[in-house]
Amino acid sequence: MNSLILQPTTTAEWQALVKEAEQRGHVHLSEDLESYLIFLLIRFTGRPELIKSVVGMEFLQSSEALGQKKLEGLRDVGDKSLLLTGFFPGRAQSSHVRISYFVKIGQSAYAALATLNKQNLAKLYVELCQGFVVLMDVLHTIREQAGYSAGLTPLQAEELWSDLSSPHALEVLRRYTKSTLIQTRSGTDGCFH
């Protein structure tokens, strides 16, 4: 396990972890995505009930809600989906669904928010939808560098690479094999391009 360098505030600690994960994963998040991810991590720190969320049902309920309740519900679904796929990919296996199912729900929630919000927030939600897999990869890297888990299993990595073209998943697969890897499916997202 790597040693953690403690920062003066929770925000600074999460920022340092996100920055380090970006460097290790060879990705660069926009300032908006990086800030959103940091504040998302702060907001859900110490909320173990997150793991018990049924995001598919919450997505349906939020989609049918009205006004502010709809906006907040969809945001929570997108955020929970991101955290579940990034920190708890085994949750999908225990639910007997693919990890990409949670990714698609999260992307759909952010895409819906993009259509419901005014220009500035709409742009952020489009960026969250399009950057979902990269954000998930950053969370996987944080999870691995903290040493709390073994990381993605080979089957989880294969799924994420095949379904979503996850660069982090491809790197994990390369750790397990020296063979040439061929992608059998092409990942498509439900985001605006």
The neighbour count for residue 152, using CB atoms within 10 Å, is 26
Higher local confidence (pLDDT), 174 or 192: 174
pLDDT beyond 80 at 149: no
Residue-wise pLDDT for 59-114, tens only, equals 999 999 999 999 999 999 999 999 999 988 888 878 888 999 999 999 999 999 99
Helix 67-87, helix 31-44: angle, nearest 10 = 90
137 in Cβ contact with 83 (< 8 Å): no
pLDDT beyond 80 at 193: no
Distance CA 66, CA 94 (A): 32
pTM: 0.88
70 in Cβ contact with 116 (< 8 Å): yes
Distance CA 46, CA 59 (A): 23
What pLDDT sits at residue 184? 61
The pLDDT of 7-35, averaged and rounded, is 91
What pLDDT sits at residue 182? 64
78 in Cβ contact with 128 (< 8 Å): yes
Distances (CA, A) of 174 to 106, 113, 125, 134, 160: 27, 36, 32, 18, 13
CA-nearest of 132, 152, 131 to 142 is: 152
What length is written for the chain? 193
103 in Cβ contact with 137 (< 8 Å): no
Distance CA 41, CA 10 (A): 10
* Average pLDDT of the chain to the nearest whole number: 87
What pLDDT sits at residue 93? 77
174 in Cβ contact with 181 (< 8 Å): yes
Helix 10-25, helix 132-146: angle, nearest 10 = 100
What pLDDT sits at residue 191? 74
Distances (CA, A) of 127 to 33, 41, 68, 135: 7, 18, 21, 11
pLDDT beyond 90 at 180: no
pLDDT beyond 90 at 123: yes
